[in-house]
């Protein structure tokens, strides 16, 4: 399957999931400003113009939570998501929705060139409340959904990576910092980071 990505963008989450699942990844790097990839006009692949997009045997899929669940369902025995129909799948959906609407969008604010000091403070305060909740959910668990890595962890890890470049201080949440290090140390996560040129 072809994964259209930009290094370090939210497309890193399905990239990690594919490697964790042992699914062959055919990476297509997208220049988000020019809306081009190494094969042509990216808007012909994804009219929204942003990543990720995944070319599957059934057509192109977009939006991180959808891709993550689709990928997990390709190899349900790997356990990166509860099986469809399992009540635990609703909890995963809840977590993915929360990450996309509250953490992803919240952290994304810091990359807006129009960001001013007042807006930055408001965005920081709001995101801080969301991270308070994440830290509470993690508690003593290894991962978001328990002691087993899931596609939700691939997604949250990816967004937490933006804290450095966006100058968002995570030191208030040692539980989240430890969690981030734990996910970063996974061999398949390291593979994905290296493949995107994010690690030497």
Question: With pLDDT > 70 as the criterion, what percentage of the chain qualifies?
Answer: 100
Instruction: Report the predicted TM-score, pTM, of the whole model to 2 decimal places.
Output: 0.97
Per the CB < 8 A criterion, the answer to whether 49 and 4 are in contact is: no
Which CATH code of 1.10.645.10, 1.20.1050.10, 3.10.310.50, 3.50.50.60 fits the domain covering 87-186? Answer: 1.20.1050.10
Q: Rounded distance, CA 193 to CA 196, Å?
A: 5
User: What is the predicted pLDDT for the residue at 30?
Assistant: 98
Q: Does domain 2-78+188-195 have CATH number 3.40.30.10?
A: yes
The pairing of beta strand 26-31 with beta strand 2-5: parallel
In angstroms, the CA 3 to CA 26 distance is 6
Mean pLDDT across the chain, nearest whole number? Answer: 97
Q: 3-class DSSP state for residue 116?
A: coil
Sequence spans of domains, the chain: 2-78+188-195, 87-186
pLDDT of residue 200: 76
Helix/strand/coil for 163: helix
Which helix (H) or strand (E) covers residue 149, if one does? none
């Amino acid at each position: 399957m072809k994964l259209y990505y930009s290094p370090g963008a939210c497309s890193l989450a399905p990239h990690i999931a594919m490697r964790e699942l042992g699914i062959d990844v055919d990476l297509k790097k997208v220049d988000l400003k020019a809306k081009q990839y190494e094969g042509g006009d990216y808007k012909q692949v994804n009219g929204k113009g942003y990543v990720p997009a995944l070319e599957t045997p059934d057509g192109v899929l977009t939006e991180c939570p959808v891709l993550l669940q689709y990928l997990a369902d390709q190899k349900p025995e790997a356990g990166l998501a509860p099986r469809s129909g399992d009540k635990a799948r609703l909890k995963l959906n809840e977590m993915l929705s929360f990450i996309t609407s509250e953490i992803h969008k919240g952290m994304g604010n810091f990359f807006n060139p129009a960001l001013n000091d007042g807006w930055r403070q408001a965005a920081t305060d709001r995101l801080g409340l969301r991270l308070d909740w994440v830290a509470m959910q993690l508690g003593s668990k290894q991962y978001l959904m328990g002691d087993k890595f899931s596609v939700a962890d691939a997604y949250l890890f990816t967004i937490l990576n933006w804290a450095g470049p966006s100058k968002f201080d995570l030191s208030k949440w040692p539980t989240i910092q430890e969690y981030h290090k734990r996910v970063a140390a996974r061999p398949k996560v390291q593979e994905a980071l290296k493949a995107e040129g994010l690690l030497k």
